[in-house]
Chains A and B, each alone.
Chain A
């Protein structure tokens, strides 16, 4: 039991934390002190009181048993995606996406380096914000998971058979790819909207920054996803006025064919946005009729523009990525395409923009708003038919707020950010400033329940929450501030996440777990949709890497000028060749390591002393290439870095580096002296 003093400390700590963020957020708006006080008085007495007695049994997954859900969690500034089991909160895997990963050599091996190529060159980091699981008929199909790179605009597709990044496409005419990669109900498109408007790529960008209004434009891109291969291509981009696009959701069912983007900075400020982009009472949700856009593309209304962007694909049979530089994109200008774009006023600096499972309701979460508006798709359609417009914004019709509005959630809390749904007509909104989740009923916008989060929740995720058929059951809060949740680890802390049981009327916190990186969005789906398809090995017969050694008989060392190519095999517990001589200073050595194992979970590792590189892991049946530039004369060991067998410590070799101009011949072998070709002393003859 926690003593009183400790409890008091926690409350005061939470309050000061809340105040700190709220002052940051609310500095530009006036909020009645009384309201604020009322809000804070709703605060919990301490985290312990929020946990009920049977919490442990609800999240206990016995040894050897599996979790019910896979949860794909963005890693934010680590550029990765992590995979958790729910309800246990066990970390199952980290998937490198927009980042190099020393754990398995992703982005370090020669085969995977091209995945991180961009029009700006090799960019081995990014800020991965949002997750989009592929869908069929608005429901998860367990094939792919998409993620956005926010900084150097990119979208990645991860294959859910191999849990590997299969493709990365850069987005031209974009900066700050935040409202991405939200997906349409049949995975026709993932989208990318510019958070930062900029002069477009083929404009002269050398303009004064304060000419934002004249020279800065936004774009939203629709990236087509091939329904059988998942292969992405930019189908079209829509040019928009210069604003900040923030988040997006596809329409579904009744609203299928539409995409909704929240946008802020309709003030078109280019400095001190904290104040200058918070001046107006309402910003917009932009409604895009993408079926209409497709018609305009078909009718030839698009203009081909010269741009430059990288398109990187990883091939699971060659075990090799290729990077292609594309140079054209099709742009639709709303001036040539009437009835394609509409703005809907939304209070105030909207962040989340979420569609409910029926597709009828669009929920805007204004970070600085005192209400949560719920818009009706039917009413939006009627407003468009009746031309119930409040003028236009840069030529794009602005629908009257009241004409689109179904209703408002009154006094939901402070700092609404994101909304997800269950399958019983309820919505759940994260409240950043007041650190809570608020449950409300979609049809009458009535608040039903609220629970605290620890602390300052950003995104939230209901199992299947963004789909047409949510699974419900659990909700996870991904918090921005951790403070005292876990044992302290110095100034830098893991981010906290909390799991809630939402199966009853009241939300109940049942687990608190630290996460990797800084999770933004996450999506979860039933394990049964993925687990049976999970790849176990790469069949060695199908390995088409040009540097594969299919068996030890094919191993060799080849000199091509100053390049030394070592075709090397690994199997428990030796490399072939494991003695290499005749390599000289000035040579660059490529170790092409083929793992000959065909058993699940038997990777081998590879590392050479002094390599300015990571170690690499090679999965069974795979070939990966490790580049090493010797920097001095001598004998250099290499070894297996993944404990593979009882004789793992014996899994090693030597490479000899001679001075430039040396006449040592290029020779190699295992279990023999490569210089004389005599067999080394061998093991005892088998007596069996």
Chain B
């Protein structure tokens, strides 16, 4: 039984031996990972401009699909975390960036973040976004809130 499962799976495993994309450099991918939660983003670090950067909106949507969508809807409906509709009006941009990239600091210090934890009871996970990636997600949130 076990062996049959094993050999059946080997057949699947063989598919992966001819990757369609360039093989990844495993050493590069698995090298030193420091656990960084970023440094605090200050108000002057974020510049919002219009019209929106269409590329950032698209990139932000892709990041949302992979790392955020499981818990946040794009409506006002709360799932695990709050829905995102209106978030850019409710929060300052640096607050959003810090909550994504410095969640430990926010939950330690920020009363509004602490209030959210009391409501949701799940710590906002560190999804290992860089500040640049978080900025793109913010652009997507602005787009979701109707900005052009």
Contact = CB atoms under 8 A, between A and B. Distances in A.
A250 interface: no
A482 interface: no
A122 interface: yes
A684 B75 CA distance: 12
B9 A113 contact: yes
A149 B19 CA distance: 32
Contacts of A168: none
A553 B64 CA distance: 11
B127 A599 contact: yes
A98 to B, nearest CB: 16
B117 to A, nearest CB: 10
Contacts of B31: 161, 533
Contacts of A315: 16, 26
Interface residues of B, number: 48
Given A117-B6, A596-B67, A572 B116 contact: no
A600 B127 CA distance: 9
B69 A552 contact: yes
B83 interface: yes
Nearest to B128: A598
A311 interface: no
**Among B9, B34, B126: residue with most chain A CB under 10 A:** B9
Contacts of A574: 70, 80
Interface in B56-108: 65-67, 69-71, 76-80, 82-83, 90
A551 B122 contact: no
Contacts, number: 143
A572 B67 CA distance: 12
B50 interface: no
Given A228-B27, A573-B122, A683-B79, A551 B70 contact: yes
A536 B33 contact: yes
Contacts of B122: 572-573, 645-647
A536 B34 CA distance: 8
A687 to B, nearest CB: 9
Interface stretch (A55-63, A128-136, A278-286, A537-545): A537-545
**Among B12, B34, B83, B116: residue with most chain A CB under 10 A:** B12
B79 to A, nearest CB: 7
A579 interface: no
Given A318-B16, A551-B70, A110 B29 contact: no
Contacts of A322: 10, 13-14, 16-17
A572 B80 contact: yes
Interface string A107-121: 000110110010001
A303 interface: no
A532 B65 contact: no
Contact of B32 (A228, A320, A533, A683): A533
Given A316-B26, A682-B77, A550 B128 contact: no
Interface string B1-23: 01101100110111111010000
A272 interface: no
Contacts of A541: 66
Nearest to A121: B3
Contact of A551 (B17, B27, B30, B69): B69
B128 A542 contact: no
Interface in A302-325: 315-318, 320-323
A688 B116 contact: yes
B45 interface: no
Nearest to B13: A322
A122 B121 CA distance: 44
A273 to B, nearest CB: 34
B78 A685 contact: yes
Interface string A574-605: 10100000000000000000001111101000
A612 to B, nearest CB: 8
Interface in B118-144: 119, 121-123, 125-128
A600 B33 CA distance: 10
A491 interface: no
A185 B6 CA distance: 37
A598 B5 contact: no
A320 B32 CA distance: 22
Contacts of A685: 76-78, 83
Given A113-B9, A546-B12, A551-B66, A316 B77 contact: no
Contacts of A646: 121-122
Contact of B127 (A121, A598, A645): A598
B77 A532 contact: no
Contacts of A572: 71, 80, 122-123, 125
Contact of A553 (B12, B65, B71): B65
Contacts of B44: none
A316 B27 CA distance: 10
Contacts of B71: 571-572
B33 A110 contact: no
Nearest to B62: A551
Contacts of B26: 229, 315-317
Interface in A542-563: 542, 544-546, 550-553
A684 B9 contact: no
A683 B33 contact: no
B35 A317 contact: no
Contacts of B126: 598-600
A671 interface: yes
A681 to B, nearest CB: 11
Interface in A285-338: 315-318, 320-323
A122 B2 contact: yes
A162 interface: yes
A627 interface: yes
Given A228-B27, A315-B26, A317-B29, A569 B70 contact: yes
A598 B70 CA distance: 13
A1 interface: no
A550 B127 CA distance: 13
A571 B71 CA distance: 8
B125 to A, nearest CB: 5
Given A110-B5, A114-B10, A322-B10, 10 more contacts: A113-B9, A320-B16, A535-B30, A541-B66, A571-B70, A574-B80, A647-B121, A686-B78, A688-B112, A688-B116
20 contacts: A113-B5, A318-B16, A536-B33, A537-B128, A539-B29, A540-B66, A542-B24, A544-B19, A550-B66, A551-B66, A553-B69, A572-B122, A574-B70, A671-B79, A683-B78, A683-B79, A685-B77, A685-B78, A685-B83, A686-B76
Interface of B: 2-3, 5-6, 9-10, 12-17, 19, 24, 26-27, 29-35, 65-67, 69-71, 76-80, 82-83, 90, 112, 115-116, 119, 121-123, 125-128
Q: Which 5 A-B pairs have the closest CB atoms?
A: A686-B82, A598-B128, A686-B78, A599-B126, A551-B65
